[in-house]
Amino acid sequence: MSYPVSLGSVTHTRVDSAAKHIRQCKVNERLMLNLNGITHDVMHRNKNKYATMKDDLVLNVNESLGPISTATEAYPSVLSNFTGLHPQIYQVITEWYKKKTPLDFHELKAKIQENPQTALQEILGAGKAPDDTALKQLKMLPYFRAQGYALGRAEGCQRTGDTVFSVLIGGQMTVNNGHFPMRPGQMVQWYFDFEAEQFKEDGSRSTDKESKASSMLRKRAHEETNAESTCVAMPKPYVLNQDGTEVYGDKIRIFAKCIMGGPAFHKVDIMLMTQSL
């Protein structure tokens, strides 16, 4: 399913609104270092890889999913990319957000909090052993929530530069679309780029392997640099299944509404609602 045109991509213009809600946020430096298993020196040498760029979709990480608490500051604690996550953590996140009911979703959440090793083993299956790195990351994994869109650049660590930046949490904004066409009036949810194959081309959940999205992981080019990173949050339309049922793991990730749509990876205009949801 395609979308004929994107107004933002064709005219190279951005939507603006008088009413804006902007919040100062801070990159969670300690969590990024621990999740990636790196030092300040490594982060400084690869500063573009770990920096939050303008127009990045930023996730709040104040709350911990695993048993190890996330250290936070006075500012809302956020991250925009999770490049160093182990592939087994990809699988955990994918299986968690596929849960259709609140009960199933929160049961798995409780298992991860109480016994992450058992939870990881159940998700991987009997034929695969949990990786030590994946288990360590699962214990400190945050509970993700959409914070908003970055209005400027923030560095991954204070040695490189400022880690505090402005985030738009309410108002209209032109953003980069994800893997799926978006149409005016549709509710917008966030998802991780590695989840793309879990959805059909119209953005609804896949029910078989043949209906997976044709666009797989795509290299992401920042506006300010040529840096590339994986495991980033992206917007997509929230689409019910053909039988009218919904997936709870997708519903709780709704954070905006589409104002002007467009094809996959083109510019779309959305109205953020994270300040009121």
Tell me the per-residue pLDDT of 39-55, one tens digit each, with 9 for 90 and over.
899 999 988 888 999 99
Query: What was the pLDDT predicted at 213?
Result: 43
pLDDT beyond 70 at 229: no
Query: What was the pLDDT predicted at 88?
Result: 95
Q: For helices 116-124 and 102-114, give the axis angle rounded to 10 degrees.
A: 120
More confident residue, 10 or 154: 154
In which band, very low, low, confident or very high, does the pLDDT at 242 lie, cut at 50, 70 and 90?
confident
* Percent of the residues in the chain that have a pLDDT greater than 90, as a whole number: 63
Question: If you search the block for the tokens 């849960």, which residue do you land on?
Answer: 99
Question: If you search the block for the tokens 């109205």, which residue do you land on?
Answer: 271
**Of 6-15, 106-115, 143-152, 228-237, where does mean pLDDT reach its minimum?**
6-15
Query: What was the pLDDT predicted at 41?
Result: 92
What are the tokens at 82?
A: 């999770």
Nearest to 55 by CA among 213, 184, 218, 166: 166
Q: For residues 51 and 78, what is the distance between their CA atoms, to the nearest angstrom?
A: 12
Query: What was the pLDDT predicted at 17?
Result: 78
69-133-94-129 Cα dihedral, nearest 10 degrees = -120
Q: For residues 121 and 91, what is the distance between their CA atoms, to the nearest angstrom?
A: 11
Residue 140, number of CB atoms within 10 A of its CB: 19
Query: What was the pLDDT predicted at 2?
Result: 55
* Percent of the residues in the chain that have a pLDDT greater than 70, as a whole number: 88
What value does the mean pLDDT take over residues 13-32?
88
Tell me the per-residue pLDDT of 158-197, one tens digit each, with 9 for 90 and over.
889 999 999 999 999 999 999 999 999 999 999 999 999 9
Query: What was the pLDDT predicted at 166?
Result: 96
Mean of pLDDT over the chain: 86
Query: What was the pLDDT predicted at 65?
Result: 87
What value does the mean pLDDT take over residues 203-211?
70
In which band, very low, low, confident or very high, does the pLDDT at 12 lie, cut at 50, 70 and 90?
confident
Confidence (pTM): 0.89
Query: What was the pLDDT predicted at 72?
Result: 67
What are the tokens at 143?
A: 């509970």
What value does the mean pLDDT take over residues 125-134?
89
Query: What was the pLDDT predicted at 221?
Result: 42
Tell me the per-residue pLDDT of 58-107, one tens digit each, with 9 for 90 and over.
999 999 888 877 766 789 999 998 888 999 999 999 999 999 999 999 99
Query: What was the pLDDT predicted at 4?
Result: 58
Q: For residues 119 and 124, what is the distance between their CA atoms, to the nearest angstrom?
A: 9
